[in-house]
Structure formats: C-alpha cells, structure tokens
Structure 1
C-alpha cells in the first residue's frame, strides 16, 4: 500500500501534507486543553472530540472535500467510497464498508461520494469504474481497491491502512462516544425490521455477486421474479448481474476498436454500450444505442432496441437519464 500525492487543480490539493500536519497539531492541542480542563473539574468527563458512531460515515461533495476529507485526514484515515445509485455492486459494497468502518471504532472514517453529483472528483481521481475505494491519510492518497470485493479482503485492507496511518504518520484516529454507541445499539435492537418472503433469495443473489458467482446471482434473481414478477429490486439486480456477466471477459480495447470501425454493426455497438454502462458512462451507453437504432432496420434494430431496454433496467426507471433516453428512442423509432 503505497501513498501517492494527487493534484486536484480547481478542487483541492491532495499534496497539502503541510496543511494536514498543521491541522493535526491544532487538533492535538485542542484535545490536550480539553483534557486539562476536565481534569481540573474532576469526575469522569468524556474526552474532547468524542463522536457518535453515526459521525464515522459521512457524505462528501466537491465543495466540502477540503474540510471533510483533507483536514480530517490529519486526525483519522478517511476512506473514500465512490458510488452511484444505479450501481448494483456499489449497493452491495457500501453497507459492508459502513459496517466495517463502525467496527473500527474511530480508527477510520468513511466518506461516501456520489459520482453522478461530483463528476469533477471522479475525473480528478482517474476513476474508470465504480465502486472505487481510496483512502486519504495526512493529505496523501492511497488507492485501495475497485469493484465489490470479499469482506475478508476489506478487513485486511483496513487493518493495513490503520497500520500505515499509525506507523508512518502517527495518526491514531478519533475517539468514539461509548454512550452514544450503546444507545444506538439499543435503539437498533428495539426497531422491528420487516421481513420479506424473498429476502433470503435476494441475499443469496448478493452473496453470489460478492463471491464472483455471476451465474448464481442471475439464477437467484430469476427465482425471485418467478414468484414475484413485479419485484423491482430483483428486476434491477438481474439486469445488473447479467450486464456484469456479459462484460466480465471482454477485451475493452478490442471491443471499442470494433465499435469505432463498424458504427453500423449492431453487435459491435451493443458490446461497446455494455462496457460504457459498466464503466459508469450512462449517457454514452444510451446515446450509442439510440444512434444505432437510427441507422439500422428489421431484426438488427430490434436487437439494439431490446438491449437498450435491458440497460434501462440496470439504471432504474426513475432515473432522469432513462427518461431522456426513452424520449430520444421514441423520436428515432417514430
């Protein structure tokens, strides 16, 4: 795990190690002063800066990146989770990252970044696909992993990250309010969780995806839909699992070269659109297939149109990009 600096011209300078060091020193001074005052007052007073567990998982945007990530990284390693609402692997990975961050008990903070709302950050980090996970320690970036990975691998990566923060930068993390943690645990235990008859099958699909068993995930989602054809979660999960299965063994360079050389070839354009969508380039994927529908006829046009409808399922009917693409499709069809 090697740190690297990353220049974020126009957003933030991730090479600002000096600034991060100054922030760390100020934080340590504040803690020391609070501890001194608590000692004079007597009694068991919580340490200054103690935070509830909920504060360990935060949403971050471009405007707050300097404060919420760079400055904070002087006190605690900040894990960056680049995600999107339409990304099924993100939905599998996100809750796992949150749970493991809470379990780290203040030695890590998780910053969630919606790539659709923060395109500049996505570009500056050079992200080609999501989910993508980085860390920032004392203002320095450490790439962690990309895609949905097994829990044990994440645990090992987080342990290594904590070790790097402690040994190389002397960063020990932040204190978690034990009382708030206990209250949250009681509250969670008291809230009844509704159980769906399909929860076990949906969980099996997620477990299959985590294990890289795309065929098993596809079958699990199909099992739900066989019993409940209107289950939107299963429909979206199936479309996403099938997409991942299609692109799993593709050669991206060869696929894109074939699409560039054969702009009217339905198979070439469909394959490239799958890659576009899997890489997070939603508008590119939709636009490519709408353009292909425009220049094809008969069975070729039907094949492209049907794949476009399948990709709509991956993103979800409520997404405005799907609505816009449906309108564009209707124009070229009628």
Structure 2
C-alpha cells in the first residue's frame, strides 16, 4: 500500500441510498433476506472502535468523522471471503490506536445501496473519511495486516503534522449514572498528581511517557501540551513579557511567550490570534516555528473546541 495524503475533496453523494435496500450495487449480490447486518450505532465484532454499517446508521458514522477519521472497509463475504479478512484486520489495527480512528465494516452483500451510492468498483476497498468527506484516494486490497499497520502509521503521522488530534469515544461504553462521578483513568494519575503537587517538570515527563507509548492518545497529548505551557511560563514576569513583545512584534520567542501567558490567563482566542498574525507576517523557519507553537496550543485546548476550529480556519487563511 502506498502513502495516501489527506485532502478535502467534495462531500459524499448519498442519493443512492434513496433506492430500496435490496437494489444491488454494481457487482454486488442481493442481501440474504434483504436485512442489513448489525444495528444502528452498534459495535462490530472488531471491538470498541468498530461499527457495522447499516443504512440507518451510515449518516451518523459520517458525522463521527468530524471528530476523528472514519475508515470504511467494503467487503463481500459471498463474493470474496478474503475481502472480509481485510475488514477484520483493519478493525484489529484500528483498535490498537485507541480511538484515533473508527472502523466502519461495510458488508456490500447486506447493504448494496451504500456500495452503489459510494460507487465502489471492487472489494476489498478501504476509504478514509474526515469531516464527512473522503480524505484519501480509495485504497484497494487485499493486503497483509503488516502493510495495514504501516499505512495507519503513515496516516497518524499526517494527522499529527496537521494538528488533528481528535479521538472517538469507545462504542458501547457504559454510561455514567446521574450524580455519579466519572471514574478517573489511572493512566493519567502520575501526571495529574505531579500537577497537583506543582511539580511541572515531572508532569511533563509523565505525559511524555504516555504520548511516546501511544501517539494516538489525545488526552495525554493535550495534557502534555498544557503542561509544557506551564513549564515554559514558570517564573515569567507578565508585564516584562508583554513589554518585550510590544517592542519586538516579529520576535518569535517574545510573541510565543505572551501567547502562552494568554492561554494561562484564559485568553485563548487572543493567544491564537497573536500567533496566527505572526504566521501571516513571517516566513521560512520563523513561520514554521510560530505555526508549530500554535498547533501545540490547539492541542492543549482540544480539537473539537469551537475556538480551535475557528483558529484552524484562520491559520489556513494565514498560510495560504
């Protein structure tokens, strides 16, 4: 499998789903009994980050791609049993990324209308969706699981480079009862305890361990980003930092320091705006340094925060 760069082509045409459910897609067999596999929103056998696609839940799965990528795998147990093996392998690899992706199992024998609407030419076929749109070219198979792992590693690198750090919630996770406190995740205990004790350097080290172990862990990435803000601003005089930034509007270090201080003061949009304008005014290594710092602040706030969404739009405008 070759590397598939992320892009933003047009939205998916779902007009084909208005046909009766038993209308076969080109090259697809009719579903047994005419019933779609799975239930709306139900988890597929692959685990907490997989879902069996039906005509009832397809739109909901597309919407889920606004949080983090959704990987659809089209296969046909009737026509190509080996294509279903690829679907299972993708579910296995997706589970290893703990929410960085959601696997959508599309059995075209059960839901031919979806295959027809998506104009699927063959099985197995993998399609990565982001923001409700195809984010790569269709990726044909079959492929061994080692190649699938390598492809997902490339996709994670591209997501990270673009500052896209969203993560899907586990499917079928037990809800928290009303009035009950959500259970703390013990993975973050050491870092959070260090923050509570004011040991910022230790907190950074603990969060870094988590990120190194699992780059797809967005909670750890956000914690690390904010801990680094705290680390960079320790002992800094706010007034002196603001004066230095006012006297040197294109000084990267001075401007990023004030952006960090704005973050700590709750002035998130001011921090984003300052660095976005810095990106707009600078070039080369300085521009890249300002952009990278801004992406770190996006990670600290959270990928689905409306201020981050606006900030990404403004950054794109400043870059292009």
Q: TM-score, normalised by structure 2?
A: 0.42
Q: TM-score, normalised by structure 1?
A: 0.41
Q: Which has the higher helix share?
A: 1
